[in-house]
Amino acid sequence: MKEYDIVVIGGGPAGLAAAYSAKENGIDNILIIERDNILGGILNQCIHNGFGLHVFKEELTGPEYAERYANLVEEKNIEYILNSMVLSVDENKVVTVMNEEDGIFEIQAKAVILAMGCRERSRGAINIPGYRPSGVFSAGMVQRLMNMEGYIPGKEVVIFGSGDIGLIMARRMALEGAKVKAVVERKPYSSGLQRNIVQCLDDYDIPLLYQHTVSKVVGKDRMEGVVLSKVDDKKQAIPGTEEFVSCDTLLLSVGLIPENEISRDLGVKMNRKTSGPIVGENLMTNVEGVFACGNVLHVHDLVDHVTMESNIAGKKAAEYIKMNKVDTSGKKIQLIPDKGVSYLVPDHINLSTLSDDVTVRFRVTDVYEGAYVDVNFDDELAIHRKKPFLAPGEMQEIKLKKDYILEHQNTDNITFKVEAK
By CB under 8 A, what part of segment 133-152 binds another protein? 133-135, 138, 140-141, 144-152
Element (H, E) at 169: helix 164-175
- Euclidean distance between CA atoms 279 and 197, whole angstroms: 33
Q: How far is the CB of 406 from another protein (least distance, A)?
A: 31
Number of CB atoms found within 10 A of residue 390's CB: 22
- By beta-carbon proximity to another protein, the closer residue of 110 and 119 is 119
**What DSSP assignment string belongs to 307-355?**
HHHHHHHHHHHHHHHHHTS----S-EEEEEE-TTEEEEESSEEETTT--
64 binds another protein (CB under 8 A): yes
In angstroms, what is the minimal distance from the CB of 362 to another protein? 16
Query: Interaction with another protein in 193-222: which residues (CB under 8 A)?
Result: 193-195, 197-199, 203, 215-216, 220-222
- Cβ–Cβ < 8 Å for 16, 70: yes
Instruction: Give me the residues paired with residue 85 across strands.
Output: 98
Measured from the CB atom, the residue of 351 and 367 that comes closer to another protein is 367
Report the candidate in 65, 236, 250, 32 with the shortest Cα–Cα distance to residue 142: 250
Helix (H, G, I), strand (E, B), or coil: what is residue 68? helix
Minimum CB–partner distance for residue 24 and another protein (Å): 23
Which residue among 87, 381, 406, 420 contacts another protein (CB under 8 A)?
87
C-alpha of 18 from chain center: 15
Residues whose CB falls within 8 Å of the CB of residue 218, separated by 6 or more in sequence, listed in order: 130, 131, 224, 225, 226, 227, 244
Q: Which is nearer to another protein, 84 or 415 (CB)?
A: 84
Residues in contact with another protein, shown as a per-residue x/- string from 34 to 63 under the rule CB under 8 A: -x--------x--xxxx--x-----xxxxx
CA nearest neighbour of 188 among 366, 340, 363, 339: 366
Residues 6+ apart with CB under 8 A from 69: 13, 16, 17, 20, 39, 40, 307
Residue of 83, 110, 78 lying closest to 98 (CA atoms): 83
The CB-of-339 to another protein minimum distance in angstroms stands at 23
Of 81-89, 281-289, 324-332, 338-346: span binding another protein (CB under 8 A): 81-89
Residues of span 393-412 touching another protein by CB under 8 A: 394
User: Which residues, 6+ apart, have CB-to-CB distance to 196 below 8 Å?
Assistant: 164, 167, 168
Q: Minimum distance between the CB of residue 122 and another protein, rounded to whole angstroms?
A: 4
Listed ranges 11-19, 115-123, 181-189, 333-341: which one lies at the site for another protein (CB under 8 A): 115-123
Part of the chain binding another protein (CB under 8 A), chosen from 117-125, 289-297, 328-336, 412-420: 117-125
Of the ranges 10-18, 114-122, 291-299, 357-365, which one interacts with another protein (CB under 8 A)?
A: 114-122
Binding another protein by CB under 8 A: which of 175, 381, 406, 420?
175
Among 24, 67, 79, 419, binds another protein (CB under 8 A): 67
179 touches another protein by CB under 8 A = no
Angle subtended at Cα 24 by Cα 312 and Cα 78, rounded to the nearest 5 degrees: 105
Cβ proximity to another protein, 264 vs 401, nearer residue: 264
> CB of 67: closest distance to another protein in angstroms?
5
Decide if residue 130 touches another protein (CB under 8 A). yes
Contact mark string toward another protein, 355..394, x via CB under 8 A: ---------------------------------xx----x
Cβ at position 22, least distance to another protein in Å: 25
Size of the residue set binding another protein (CB under 8 A): 76
The C-alpha atoms of residue 294 and residue 21 are separated, in whole angstroms, by 14
Q: Which of residues 280-319 bind another protein (CB under 8 A)?
A: 301-302
Amino acid (one-letter) located at 251: L
Return the residues of window 226-285 that contact another protein according to CB under 8 A.
Answer: 237, 248-249, 264
Q: Beta 179-184 vs 208-209: how paired, if at all?
A: parallel
